[in-house]
Amino acid sequence: MSNCGPEAPEARRRPADGQRTLSLGERIRYARLTMLTYRKATAKERDAFLVLLREKTGGYLEPTLRVMGMTWDEFADMVRTVGEVRAILRTRTVVGFAWIERRDRTLHVHGVALEPPFRGQGIGTAVFRDLEEEFRASVDGIELGVHDSNPRARALYERLGFHVETALPDVGFSVLRKPISAPRA
Ligand SMILES: CC(C)(COP(=O)(O)OP(=O)(O)OC[C@H]1O[C@@H](n2cnc3c(N)ncnc32)[C@H](O)[C@@H]1OP(=O)(O)O)[C@@H](O)C(=O)NCCC(=O)NCCS
């Protein structure tokens, strides 16, 4: 499944890369490309998120679920009932989904998945930036799980300041955490 939208190759150059300084025009364009809005996903969109997750994680999600004693249908049910799945919109286009759950003072990010045409443009980074802003005052940290077979996603999370909290080598999975603190008064 795939929404389609224009690729924006110039947006791939993230300002943080330090390769060169972006011009004002490029910075404005970058800001626009990473200006996102969120809303609760519809039931149909939640199913679309499941398809994305299954496509991306087909190689490991099902064995991991087996270790957890969970069937795919039970997992799908969890996506529908646990926490909140948000649609991520850039202008009016749904570019992907974020599944989050607040657990006491921790925000657990169960998964973020973007439609393929929108990956690598800074949107994932912006989603985490926005989550941090939104939850800064109400949680002490953000937590997520990443599988060893997804080194690119892991590299992104580490760049964003996440560190391994628990490694589960048996299932090739690590829980990463980023502490966040409330804004100073
Ligand atoms: C992981 C993901 C949410 C990151 O969002 P993004 O907008 O693509 O990321 P950004 O543009 O902000 O940052 C780029 C970095 O993201 C990571 N990334 C980019 N494309 C990726 C992909 N297809 N799969 C995994 N990670 C990817 C890389 O670390 C990349 O840096 P690099 O280009 O130097 O390798 C997004 O790529 C995605 O949906 N991937 C497929 C689903 C997935 O793997 N989700 C995570 C596990 S549930």
Segments making up each domain of the chain, as ranges: 39-179
- Ligand 1 touching residue 78 (CB < 6 A): no
| 185 Cα: distance to centroid of ligand 1 (angstroms) | 34
Q: What is the layout of strands, in order, in the sheet containing 163-168? A: 36-40, 84-90, 93-103, 106-114, 141-147, 173-179, 163-168
pLDDT at 4: 34
Q: Which CATH architecture does the domain made up of 39-179 adopt?
A: 3-Layer(aba) Sandwich (3.40)
Q: What is the DSSP string of 10-62?
A: GGGS-GGG-SSPPPHHHHHHHHHHT-EEEEEPPHHHHHHHHHHHHHHHTTTHH
pTM of the model: 0.83
pLDDT at 88: 98
Please list the pLDDT of the chain residue by residue as tens digits (185 residues).
333 333 334 344 454 555 678 888 888 877 777 789 999 999 999 999 999 988 866 566 776 777 678 888 999 999 999 999 999 999 889 999 999 999 999 999 999 999 999 999 999 999 999 999 999 999 999 999 998 888 999 999 999 999 999 998 887 889 999 999 877 66
| 150 Cα: distance to centroid of ligand 1 (angstroms) | 9
pLDDT at 185: 63
Return the ligand 1 atom nearest residue 126 CA: 12
Return the ligand 1 atom nearest residue 123 CA: 7
Mutate to test the pocket of ligand 1, among 156, 159, 160, 173 (most ligand atoms within 8 A of CB): 156
pLDDT at 16: 52
- Ligand 1 touching residue 112 (CB < 6 A): yes
